[in-house]
Amino acid sequence: MIAKKRLTAALALSLALAAGSHGVARADDSDKTFKIWWYETPDSAMGIAWNKAIEEFKAKHPDVTIAFEQKSWDQIEKAGSLILNSGEAPDLLEYNKGNAIAGLAASQGLLTDLTDVAAERGWDKTLTSSELLLSRYDDRGIFGTGPIWGIPDYGEFVAVYYNKNMFKDLGLEVPKTLAEFEKVMDAFVAKGITPIATAANDYPAQHLLTELALSKATPEWVQSYQGLKAPLDPAPYLYGAQTLQDWVKKGYVSKDATGLKATDMETLFETGKAPMVVSGTWFGGGFKSKIKDFEWGQFLFPGNTISSGSTGNIWVVPKSAKHKDWAYEFIDITLSKDNQALLGNSGGVPVAADPASLTDPVGLMMTENFKVLADRNGLGFYPDWPAPGFYEVMLQKTQALIGGTITPEEFVEQISGPYNEAQAEAN
């Protein structure tokens, strides 16, 4: 989901490390320095809201020096546990949710248990129990149960972005069912247009496949799949894989997707070459600022009750943090109605905003869709979460599926292997 940042992150990694040691924010560890790290870019909705939160914190504590460091997602993904395990950890940081990262850190005792603080400060009331699922990890590091180790303040999900002008030109309506969706795509294929742009040399293709798989999934299947509760029940994936290959044959998705990155997919949509993309809300802000030539919108994947989606990455307080109270206070600010409204009005998906306070059409549209999913228990999380390294497996195999080098049966067999191995290891 966030892997679109992978390449830039790899480049940024060395720069960020270098910057860290040059003292951009490397104040001393005196009692009056509050160290915060996150990796959302300054122009993202989260970046905007959290920078405002820093201002607010400073106003309340004029004597405190804030030592902020901009990190990259990849940096935390690859080296997060090493940082938490060192003496260099900050007081508060944005951390990657999921078993492989937050779960691992929690199970190794590197994070502060926030269960009591959450009750004290009312975070467990602000956030619903389903919104707190990714905050809880058990002693094996698997999410869903156990103490609260982190707090999210935004949401994200996968949906269909569409070019309203191209739909209007062909007299097409937003589809409500999978059959209607296929009819819409037929109309584009008849005009020689590939209806869905996707990228299989990157994460978007596995999200498209997962949407198809989730059309056959129940909440129980999702829980069992994400929680490594049993060996993989492959039926939904088999259906998804068959349908995806079918879609490639029908021309709904191009075989060339195997050579495309998420940014290529983004470009195809932004330049009006593709009428639809199926991807996450993290594209909303970019589309908002870059698309000027046509109107666009977003609809939930037709016919699905469940979609890939979840609360965002989480605030965690390292076990070794020096100023835990300030960290809790900062989380309070980011969960406040004002800060949440700012996040939404900057094109993000707040989890605790007052809907009436949202004026930005993009933020409002996505927040409403998020609420629809969350209210019907329709957040299906992401396909790569169950086991560390499963992202690569899903990526490689979805790519092969679209390229036609493996059959749907082989796909299911090849993803079941690593999944079942991880499942056996975890239990």
Partner 1 sequence: MASTVDRPSGRAGLNLGYLPYLLPGAIGFFVVVLIPFLMNIAVSFTRWKGIGVPKFIGLENYLKLFQDKTFWAAFEHSVACVIAMALIPTALGLFLGAVLFDYIGPRFGPRASSGLRAAFYLPQILPVAVAGVLWGWILSPIGVLNTILDGLGLHALSQNWLGDPATALLAVMFVMVWLQLGYALVVFMAGLARVDPALYEAAELDGAPWLSRFRHITIPMLKPEIFVVGLTTTIAALKVFAPVYVLTSGGPDNATTVPSYFAYYHFFTTNRVGYGAAITTVQTLITIVLGLVFLRVQRKQTEGAN
Q: Which residues bind to partner 1, rule: CB under 8 A?
A: 7, 10-11, 77-78, 81-82, 85, 100, 104-105, 108, 110, 200-201, 254-261, 264, 267-268, 387-389, 391-392, 395-397, 399-400, 403, 405-406
* CB-count burial class (<10 Å; 0-12, 13-18, 19+) for 398: buried
Q: How far is the CB of 268 from partner 1 (least distance, A)?
A: 7
323 vs 397 by CB, closer to partner 1: 397
Question: What are the strands of the beta sheet with 151-152, ordered from one edge?
Answer: 65-70, 33-38, 92-95, 314-316, 151-152
For residues 395 and 387, give the distance between their C-alpha atoms in angstroms, rounded to a whole number: 14
The token duo for 284 is: 């909303």
Q: How far is the CB of 249 from partner 1 (least distance, A)?
A: 16
Q: How far is the CB of 407 from partner 1 (least distance, A)?
A: 13
Q: How far is the CB of 202 from partner 1 (least distance, A)?
A: 8
Long-range Cβ contact pairs of 215-220 (< 8 A, separation 24 or more): 215/178, 215/239, 215/240, 215/301, 215/303, 215/304, 216/240, 217/306, 217/380, 219/306, 219/377
Terminal-residue alpha carbon distance, the chain? 27
Q: Are 83 and 89 in contact (CB under 8 A)?
A: yes
The identity of residue 223, as a single letter, is Q
50 vs 385 by CB, closer to partner 1: 385
147 vs 388 by CB, closer to partner 1: 388
194 vs 304 by CB, closer to partner 1: 194
Q: How far is the CB of 391 from partner 1 (least distance, A)?
A: 7
359 vs 405 by CB, closer to partner 1: 405
Q: How far is the CB of 384 from partner 1 (least distance, A)?
A: 10
176 vs 249 by CB, closer to partner 1: 249
Q: What is the DSSP string of 240-257?
A: HHHHHHHHHHHTSB-GGG
∠ CA 257-6-136, rounded to 5°: 110
- Side-chain-side CA neighbours of 231 within 13 Å: the count stands at 7
Q: How far is the CB of 388 from partner 1 (least distance, A)?
A: 4
Q: How far is the CB of 77 from partner 1 (least distance, A)?
A: 8
Return the DSSP state at 9: H
CA distances (Å), 193 to each of 157, 188, 272, 311, in order? 26, 5, 11, 34
361 vs 389 by CB, closer to partner 1: 389
For residues 154 and 151, give the distance between their C-alpha atoms in angstroms, rounded to a whole number: 10
Q: Are 54 and 66 in contact (CB under 8 A)?
A: yes
127 vs 200 by CB, closer to partner 1: 200
8 vs 357 by CB, closer to partner 1: 8
5 vs 323 by CB, closer to partner 1: 5
Q: How far is the CB of 132 from partner 1 (least distance, A)?
A: 24
- 359-381: buried (b, 16+ CB within 10 Å) or exposed (e) per residue? ebebbbbbbebbeebbeeebbbb
Q: How far is the CB of 214 from partner 1 (least distance, A)?
A: 23
Q: Positive or negative CA dihedral for 266, 268, 272, 275?
A: negative
